[in-house]
Amino acid sequence: MKNKIIFAILIVILFLSRFYNLEKTVKINRDEASDLVKIHQYWVEKKISLVGPISENGNMVYSSLSYYLVMPFAVF
């Protein structure tokens, strides 16, 4: 029981430290609307890829992990 309480406290601290001062620390440097379109495309096609989406100008490949982590919230 004691271990579960300590674990729960650590999880709460983790979430609080992650979202503390978020509006000043987050850096938005590309178009999030195109991200939502690509996430929707992944969801509809059920096509899972380890290679992330390619940027609009075709010179960068983004991580697919961030897309898969955001996908449940975007679908909801």
Helix 64-75 with 32-45: angle, nearest 10 deg? 80
Domain ranges of the chain: 2-75
CA-to-CA separations, 55 to 26, 32, 41, 47, in angstroms, rounded: 19, 11, 15, 18
0.75 surpassed by pTM: no
Looking at residue 44, its pLDDT comes to: 85
What's the pLDDT score for residue 51?
A: 74
- pLDDT, one tens digit per residue, over 11-60 is 999 888 877 776 776 666 666 667 777 778 878 888 777 777 776 677 77
pLDDT at 16: 87
